[in-house]
Structure 1
Amino acid sequence: MMKAFSLEGRAALVTGSSQGIGLAMAEGLHEAGARVVCHGLTERPADFPEWARYVACDLCAPDAPAALVHCAFEAEPHLDTLICNAGGFFDVPFLEMTRERWDRTVQLNMASVYFTAQAFARRLVAEQRAGSIVITSSTNGFQAESDSSAYDASKGALVMLTKSLAVSLADHGIRVNGVAPGLIRTPLTASLEHAGNSSVVDHYEKKILLKRLGTPEDVAGAAVFLCSRAAGYITGETIIIDGGLTTGQIGRR
Structure 2
Amino acid sequence: MSPYKVALVTGAAQGIGRAIARRLADDGLDVAVNDIASKSEELDTLVDEIRQKGRASSKCIADVSQEEEVKEMVEQVVKEHGGLDVMVANAGIAGTVVPFVDVSADEWDRVMEVNARGAFLCYKYAGIQMIKQGRGGRLIAASSVAGKQGTPQLPAYSASKFAVRGLTQAAALEFGPHGITVNAYAPGAVDTPIRMALNSLAQTFLFTSHQQRSPLKQIGVPEDIANLVSFLAKKESQFITGALEISINGGIFFD
TM-score by length of 2: 0.88
Partner of 1:110: 116
Alpha-carbon distance in 2 for matches of 1:199, 1:61: 34
Alpha-carbon distance in 1 for matches of 2:78, 2:180: 17
Alpha-carbon distance in 1 for matches of 2:24, 2:172: 21
SS of structure 1 residue aligned to 2:46? coil
Q: Name the aligned partner's letter for residue 240 of structure 1.
A: S
1:44/1:55 contact within 8 Å kept: no
Q: CA deviation at 1:199?
A: 5.8
> In structure 2, do the counterparts of structure 1 residues 100 and 245 end up closer, same or farther at CA, with 3 Å as the change threshold?
same
SS of structure 2 residue aligned to 1:17? coil
Partner of 1:235: 241
Q: CA deviation at 1:145?
A: 1.2
Pick the aligned partner of 1:63 from 64, 68, 72.
Answer: 68
1:208/1:244 contact within 8 Å kept: yes
1:194-233 correspondence to structure 2 within 5 Å:
201-233=207-239
Q: Quick check: which has more Rg, 1 or 2?
A: 1
> In structure 2, do the counterparts of structure 1 residues 129 and 9 end up closer, same or farther at CA, with 3 Å as the change threshold?
closer
Which structure's residues are more often helix, by fraction?
2
**Pair 1:145 & 2:151 matched:** yes
Pick the aligned partner of 1:246 from 209, 234, 253.
Answer: 253
1:183-198 correspondence to structure 2 within 5 Å:
183-191=189-197
Give the percent of matched residue pairs that are identical in Structure 1 and Structure 2: 29
> In structure 2, do the counterparts of structure 1 residues 71 and 189 end up closer, same or farther at CA, with 3 Å as the change threshold?
same
Moved over 6 A (4+): none
- Residues 162-211 of structure 1 deviation map (CA, whole Å, 9 limit, x = unaligned): 1111001011110001110100001232456x969876544332211111
Partner of 2:94: 89
Alpha-carbon distance in 2 for matches of 1:99, 1:57: 24
Q: CA deviation at 1:126?
A: 2.0
Which structure 1 segments of 5+ residues have no match?
1-5, 249-253
Partner of 1:159: 165
Instruction: Please provide the CA RMSD for this pair.
Output: 2.1
Q: CA deviation at 1:99?
A: 1.9
> In structure 2, do the counterparts of structure 1 residues 9 and 94 end up closer, same or farther at CA, with 3 Å as the change threshold?
closer
Q: Name the aligned partner's letter for residue 128 of structure 1.
A: G
Count of residue pairs brought into register by the alignment = 242
Q: CA deviation at 1:101?
A: 1.3
Q: CA deviation at 1:63?
A: 1.7
Alpha-carbon distance in 2 for matches of 1:247, 1:188: 25
> In structure 2, do the counterparts of structure 1 residues 36 and 198 end up closer, same or farther at CA, with 3 Å as the change threshold?
closer
Which structure 2 segments of 5+ residues have no match?
52-56
| Greater Cα offset, 46-55 or 133-142 | 46-55
| Greater Cα offset, 172-181 or 85-94 | 85-94
Alpha-carbon distance in 1 for matches of 2:163, 2:202: 31
Alpha-carbon distance in 1 for matches of 2:4, 2:61: 25
Alpha-carbon distance in 2 for matches of 1:63, 1:198: 36
Partner of 2:45: 47
- Residues 64-114 of structure 1 deviation map (CA, whole Å, 9 limit, x = unaligned): 211211111122112211100011122442212222111111211111211
Pick the aligned partner of 2:32 from 13, 26, 37.
Answer: 37
Partner of 2:178: 172
